[in-house]
Structure 1
Amino acid sequence: MTRWRFKRVDRLVGLSVLAAVGLTWFVLVGFDAFTIFVGELNDVGRGSYTLAKAASYTLLTVPRRLYEMFGYAALIGGLAGLGALAGTGELTALRAAGMSKLRICASVALTLVLLTALVVAIGETLAPLGEQSARALALSAKSKDVSLAKGGSIWARDGNTFVNAGSGRTRQTDDGEVVDLSRVRVFEFDDDGRLTTLSVAARAEHAAGQWTLYDLRRTVFAEASATSTQSAEMQWSSGLDPDVLALSIVNLDYLNLRDLGRNIAYLERNGQDSRNFREAYWARLFYPVNVLVLAFCALPFAFGALRSGGLAKRLFIGIVLSIGFFFLQRAAVNLGAVYGLPPALANMIPPALLIALAFAWFRRFA
């Protein structure tokens, strides 16, 4: 009998939280997608970019937005779900029946764990695929000289020169934004369509208004021979627009763990700086931990407010905690970069601090 009672309690709390999280999630993702769609309307008419393509672009990015917004939805929805139980007196009845705050929070966490597992699967599959397809759609419509191939590689044209890059990234320096292309191949053709030169470089960099190829092997084809030369770096006279190329580069936060790991291995194998990729890798790895810790640890702080406050107060609590945790996490990662802390440790500090704070609150008010 006791065992069945606990199952019914879990179902009661879980369904309440599930409904609140679902509604919050829908509103946040819908508002975010609508905002992006309105922004895309400014590009309608550019090239072959139509209203239908703007809508398709927005829809393709929805899986990624579902992934990004779930943390906020889980936190606000968890508070709203408990608030709904408090408003009907069910939360008070559960407490009067001897159910502890920790046990109620555990019922909420059980629901959120299942949802988080689903969201992580979306973030590793549908989100990167949708983001890549969206960018490929937008680029092919807006620019005839740059496109994305399957797997995320970049193809660009500069007159009779065709450029292929395995991947790319942008980074900020004191001199401005730098565009980095990795695993670069440059095909140069004559007016008759014959290949005259093939250049293979470990990477290409656009900085200070010019392109530079690094670790270059250049092969020049004659009528009956081919001559190869190698150089550590070479200035590259190209009219490729770095701003357009930057649009084709998928944000590191949108890559899945496999692609991030592959890029880290490549950069480290070639003696290049992989810290940005390692930070993105560990941030993604800690994503489910951060979501569950933030949502679970926020619930005890809200119990007092849930009895006396309405939806506005619960939303305020959720927003404040979300913003506070976001800045704490950003500060920890940035300080880790400054002081040379491993990205794993820097990402571990915010949830550890939050757990300690929630534990102290439990001990004081449970």
Structure 2
Amino acid sequence: MNPTTRLWIKRVDLLVGLTVLGWVLIAWFILVGLDSVLQFLRQLRFVGQNGFTVSNAAYYVSVTIPRRMYEMYGSAALIGSLLGLGGLASTGELTALRAAGLSPLRIAISATWVVTVLMVGVVIIGETIGPWGDQQDRAMQLRLRTGAIGLGQSGLWARDGDRIINAARTVLRGIDGHARVQLLDVKVFTMTTDGELSRFDHADTAEHVGNLWILGQVRSSFIDKDGVHSTLRANDRWQSQLDPNVLEKSMIQPQYLSTRDQLRNIRYLERNHENPVAYTTPFWGRILYPLNTLVLMLSAIPFAFGALRSGGAGRRVFMGMLLALIWHFGQQVIVNFGVVYGAPPLLANLLPAILTILLALLYFRQLT
């Protein structure tokens, strides 16, 4: 390859990449902005209830923006690619690039590098600021719904009469097709009327069964005038007004957790010989998120060489949203079928990407 050809390819990469980058950023900003405004308007319906204010609604939207950025990036990459490459096609620049000997696949690669670079930042957001924002949101929602329960860096805190309860973690367990909340590393402080500690219970787990909470692997310490007395039991009944439904709402949904937290919950459930499907499916969805975004983008690029060449921006946006919806629902159907029929979660999440890659490669082959 001579120096002139190398320089030409670099200019092609910059032309296509920067054009796509501009449109991806515009589409991303609009999608996140519209979703945030809609969520803010929905939250305004609760203003005045349980002390909920307009500032609380604004806080809810602001802390969940990172998660919305993570969720919307795939659609923004798709729509931005269609707008950018469609614009180049309508002005004849894609035709000139192909006349110079560049294949549609080569042009598509020039468009994907900027999406890949942005993807690194998006993944970092989804693993750090996104889960943190959802935790802040849950803590605020609990604080407004009930003054007896709160979330902090040290886990969940609740007050139940003369007892103060702390659970380091909460996890969802699938039982008979239903998700049930289980508290881990539970500490129960029982106080006297004078505010002094009279009893301390530490349990590995706490689970709501019927009208009772069942504590597992409980060590109880009683404090009286004769000193401290401790007992150890495999399980113990715990009469508490702690509502498991409220606790379930306090949990961050598995798909919003970081991969580290998802993996931690998966390993815990596996150690206890329980089905971790509530976490394995969103875990592999997060792991494959970068791949799925690039696959979705590549599958839409061929339309810029054909169906969208003479269309306007509105047509390209419509086509982008249509493809995003088809991909979203198609992926959900395949993944859900995989869960129902016991397919490995990795295979169920990977199959939509494999099928889309095969269809995209077949389309690119027809264009050459």
Is the pair's TM-score, using the shorter chain for normalization, greater than 0.5?
yes
Query: Identity across aligned pairs (percent)?
Result: 45
Residue 222 of structure 1 aligns with which residue?
224
Q: CA deviation at 1:39?
A: 2.0
| Structure 1 spans left out of the alignment, 5+ residues | none
**2:123 partner letter:** V
Residue 206 of structure 2 aligns with which residue?
204
Q: 1:171 to 1:270 in 2, by over 3 A?
A: closer
Please say if residues 169 and 251 of structure 1, whose CA atoms lie closer than 8 Å, have aligned partners that are also in contact.
no
Taking the aligned partners of 2:311 and 2:67, their CA distance within structure 1 comes to 33
| Structure 2 spans left out of the alignment, 5+ residues | none
Among 125, 130, 142, the alignment partner of 1:139 is 142
Residue 50 of structure 1 aligns with which residue?
53
Please say if residues 89 and 304 of structure 2, whose CA atoms lie closer than 8 Å, have aligned partners that are also in contact.
no
SS in 2 for 1:81: helix
SS in 1 for 2:361: helix
**2:153 partner letter:** K
Question: Is 1:347–2:349 an aligned residue pair?
Answer: yes
Taking the aligned partners of 1:39 and 1:220, their CA distance within structure 2 comes to 49
Residue 104 of structure 1 aligns with which residue?
107
Q: CA deviation at 1:350?
A: 0.9
**2:246 partner letter:** V
Q: 1:361 to 1:322 in 2, by over 3 A?
A: same
Question: Is 1:36–2:39 an aligned residue pair?
Answer: yes
Question: Is 1:252–2:266 an aligned residue pair?
Answer: no
SS in 2 for 1:167: strand
Please say if residues 70 and 126 of structure 2, whose CA atoms lie closer than 8 Å, have aligned partners that are also in contact.
yes
**2:13 partner letter:** D
Question: Is 1:187–2:194 an aligned residue pair?
Answer: no
Q: CA deviation at 1:124?
A: 1.2
Q: CA deviation at 1:279?
A: 2.0
Give matches, 1:232-247, under 5 Å: 232=235, 234-247=236-249
Q: CA deviation at 1:61?
A: 0.7
Taking the aligned partners of 1:328 and 1:293, their CA distance within structure 2 comes to 14
Deviations 1:32-67 (A, max 9, x none): 111221222233334443222221221111111000
SS in 2 for 1:308: coil
Give matches, 1:127-166, under 5 Å: 127-150=130-153, 153-166=155-168
Q: CA deviation at 1:355?
A: 0.8
Please say if residues 172 and 278 of structure 2, whose CA atoms lie closer than 8 Å, have aligned partners that are also in contact.
no
Question: Is 1:118–2:118 an aligned residue pair?
Answer: no
Give matches, 1:204-353, under 5 Å: 204-206=206-208, 210-223=212-225, 224-232=227-235, 234-353=236-355
TM-score, L = length of structure 1: 0.91
Taking the aligned partners of 1:175 and 1:206, their CA distance within structure 2 comes to 16
Deviations 1:189-225 (A, max 9, x none): 2222222333333333335555333344444433323
Taking the aligned partners of 1:38 and 1:207, their CA distance within structure 2 comes to 38
Taking the aligned partners of 1:272 and 1:176, their CA distance within structure 2 comes to 13
SS in 2 for 1:332: helix
Please say if residues 297 and 358 of structure 1, whose CA atoms lie closer than 8 Å, have aligned partners that are also in contact.
yes
Taking the aligned partners of 2:18 and 2:328, their CA distance within structure 1 comes to 28
Question: Is 1:364–2:366 an aligned residue pair?
Answer: yes
| Greater Cα shift, 204-213 or 305-314 | 204-213
Deviations 1:2-23 (A, max 9, x none): 2122111111111211111111
Taking the aligned partners of 1:130 and 1:147, their CA distance within structure 2 comes to 15
Q: CA deviation at 1:163?
A: 1.6
Please say if residues 283 and 347 of structure 1, whose CA atoms lie closer than 8 Å, have aligned partners that are also in contact.
yes
Q: 1:23 to 1:171 in 2, by over 3 A?
A: farther
Please say if residues 203 and 213 of structure 1, whose CA atoms lie closer than 8 Å, have aligned partners that are also in contact.
yes
Give matches, 1:67-82, under 5 Å: 67-82=70-85
Taking the aligned partners of 2:274 and 2:186, their CA distance within structure 1 comes to 15
Deviations 1:66-86 (A, max 9, x none): 001101111111111111212
| Backbone CA RMSD of aligned residues | 2.3
Taking the aligned partners of 1:48 and 1:160, their CA distance within structure 2 comes to 25
Taking the aligned partners of 2:177 and 2:120, their CA distance within structure 1 comes to 42
Please say if residues 169 and 246 of structure 1, whose CA atoms lie closer than 8 Å, have aligned partners that are also in contact.
no
Q: CA deviation at 1:174?
A: 6.2
Deviations 1:92-141 (A, max 9, x none): 22223222111111111111111111111111111112222232234334
TM-score, L = length of structure 2: 0.90
Question: Is 1:95–2:114 an aligned residue pair?
Answer: no
Q: 1:42 to 1:238 in 2, by over 3 A?
A: farther
Please say if residues 257 and 281 of structure 1, whose CA atoms lie closer than 8 Å, have aligned partners that are also in contact.
yes
Residue 3 of structure 1 aligns with which residue?
6
